[in-house]
Amino acid sequence: MKVLITGGAGFIGSHVADAYLAQGAAVVVVDDLSSGRRENLDRQARLVEMDIRRPEVVGLIASERPDVVNHHAAQIDVRRSVADPGLDASINVLGALNVLEGARAAGVSRFVYASSGGAVYGEPVELPCREDHPIRPICPYGATKHALEHYLEMYFTLYGLPYSILRYANVFGPRQDPFGEAGVVAIFTAKMLAGEELVVNGDGEQTRDFVYVEDVARANLLATQLGQACGTFNIGTGVATSINQVFDHLRRATGYRPAPAHGPAMHGETRHIYLDCRQAAQVLGWRPEVDLAEGLGRTVESLRVAGASHA
């Protein structure tokens, strides 16, 4: 099997690449390295450095003729999407359409799409959110991520292109860049290890569903194996964890002593969200295996080692 992964040098995408390689797949990565890193990639993966907004992406994918296209390349920063919705749409809709057109031209057997299990739902009307929860994004990022889901449904209807949509919860783990468009775990861990002041947005009682990156990578493998069936799956733990709880876990793991400072809540961010993942369990046979404490411990150790290697 040959798999082409867009954004495959990034945090999540590189773990997905590793998972496919471990299964014996040939892996081609398309990444412009704007946030991804060459060093994230296993030597067995072949990197093509290219922005998905370039029209040449269509011909590249068609010429590679992968069996599977796995689409992770995206603008992922909620705050940036609010500040510049045009940029967000140019990458997450127009760029993604280039990838989808390339997949159609290549005649791929499966398109796996990394969507958002938080941003597309907006402020939940019921918890945990199931896949049939109303779609009410409150930021441009959520709107653009959901837009491609409609295109995937349409491409299946028009061209018979099977798809798997994975709506991720808050993914964390090794390789998450604490200095880029990072999640709270990477930012907190880096600041704690450096002994720097740490600012929590709002009161810290906002809750998220934190899922470990290796569990997410395994979900991608399973989502590739659906034959001609299509599906949309929440990928999370089904557990609500507050930002203050994450802070306490990480403080114990790092030995950090200061209390956090509190800043204003961030505009466009959901207050409480966690996901119902029973559909992934029933259809894909997927369940998270790494709990929060273990995953946070692994993340702290990976950043500690990375910091020591750069010292």
Q: From the CB of residue 34, how many other CB atoms can be counted at a distance below 10 Å? A: 14
295: region left, alpha or beta (phi > 0 left; psi from -120 to 50 alpha): alpha
Instruction: Give the integer Cα–Cα distance in Å for 69 and 6.
Output: 8
The residue to which tokens 């979900």 are assigned: 219
Q: Which two tokens stand for residue 135?
A: 């779609």
Instruction: Give the integer Cα–Cα distance in Å for 75 and 212.
Output: 21
Instruction: Give the integer Cα–Cα distance in Å for 31 and 60.
Output: 12
155 is catalytic: no
Instruction: Give the integer Cα–Cα distance in Å for 21 and 26.
Output: 7
140: Cβ contacts below 8 Å, ≥ 6 apart? 81, 82, 85, 88, 89
Phi/psi at 212 (nearest 5 deg)? Answer: -75, 145
Instruction: Give the integer Cα–Cα distance in Å for 305 and 311.
Output: 10
Q: Which two tokens stand for residue 102?
A: 């390339």
Shortest CA distance to 299 belongs to which of 2, 14, 11? 11
Instruction: Give the integer Cα–Cα distance in Å for 198 and 191.
Output: 6
- Catalytic: which of 20, 121, 141, 256? 141
The residue to which tokens 């002994």 are assigned: 195
The residue to which tokens 């997905």 are assigned: 16
Catalytic positions, please?
141
